[in-house]
A = this chain, B = another copy of it.
């Protein structure tokens, strides 16, 4: 029996769970002997929770492996990121909250510029501004392919998403981007039999699109990358028996949450608004994924002090969440983003569960150093959901 089969066997009704995900929260000292971002931040509310709850270190994928946002969140949601890879196309489509369906192939496309000889002169079409690009994207909606529904959606600058919807469309097609200028875009080549139809459809899309784009000054051609179908994930309802709500500002995280069947609630624009949405929907759901983006953003910027401020902003909303009285409150991140590295990193993520059933440990604050010695130990992120369920009284005994 695997973990998912076990959980489905044991799941039962219980209390509400809040999973507060502070993206990229784990950090590093900027200088030897210094504090991490979390240690430098004044977090009286998180520290008070740490004294009550159980801490530990979440390993997003496996020791030493740095996750992207997709795998990082899948792990937190309890789905092995190595078993359920999310292709670039699907991630890009999720990123604009496109509702990816089971018969969809998603493709991340770039506008490019070609010369009179058909060869690429600029792989990003001069990074044309988003608004200009969006207009060109709309002209591509004129492409018609028999038996296949075609969606074309703008993303940012030269990037857009194409989705083919239809029967028998595999996702295993090679990129058409030659990766350097001076070459024509490649043909889309199927890498397995199930993807032959997709390759034909992509070829026809490219033919029609090129005609439509011919008169454009910069965006007169396109390349296609990351062909991907939606992974077949059991939903939160099927797997955990949870009516789950996702509260996020950024489309990417809404997209990821919708892949596992969470309902997207509200249209919050800030953390304060996210908490309002949480309150408004408190009675309607069993599980709330609340995503806070800016700890990651400031980490990616390499701005230690700004990340510290974001952590303090997060700390400030904790009492409002606590006041709702969740049976289990989980505070974690999908990965670490140390300002020192200005990127996602492989380091484990300080994590805590606060619940009447949490066994207190010796941790006196919410920090990397304290979490190292916490009662949850070092654990793979895929076990966080079972732990949260257990702390909310939602898992029955296995065996007699």
Q: Which residues of A contact B (CB under 8 A)?
A: 1-3, 6, 10, 28-29, 32-33, 36, 52, 57, 61-72, 81-83, 85-86, 88, 91, 341, 343-348, 357, 359-362, 368-369, 372-379, 383, 386-391, 395-400
Contacts and interface: CB of A to CB of B under 8 A. Distances in A.
Contacts of A29: 360
A379 B379 contact: no
A165 to B, nearest CB: 23
A267 B398 CA distance: 30
A360 B367 CA distance: 12
Contact of A82 (B6, B66, B83, B396): B6
B10 A398 contact: no
Contact of A362 (B28, B372, B398): B372
A66 B395 contact: yes
Chain A contact residues, majority secondary structure: loop
A231 to B, nearest CB: 11
Given A57-B377, A378-B379, 6 more contacts: A1-B85, A63-B390, A67-B399, A362-B372, A377-B377, A378-B378
Copies of this polypeptide in the complex? 2
B6 A66 contact: no
Nearest to A27: B359
A68 B399 contact: yes
Contacts of A361: 368-369, 372
Contacts of A343: 397
10 contacts: A6-B65, A66-B396, A66-B397, A69-B400, A85-B399, A341-B357, A348-B377, A361-B369, A368-B375, A372-B375
B399 A71 contact: yes
A389 B64 contact: yes
Contact of A62 (B3, B68, B81, B368): B3
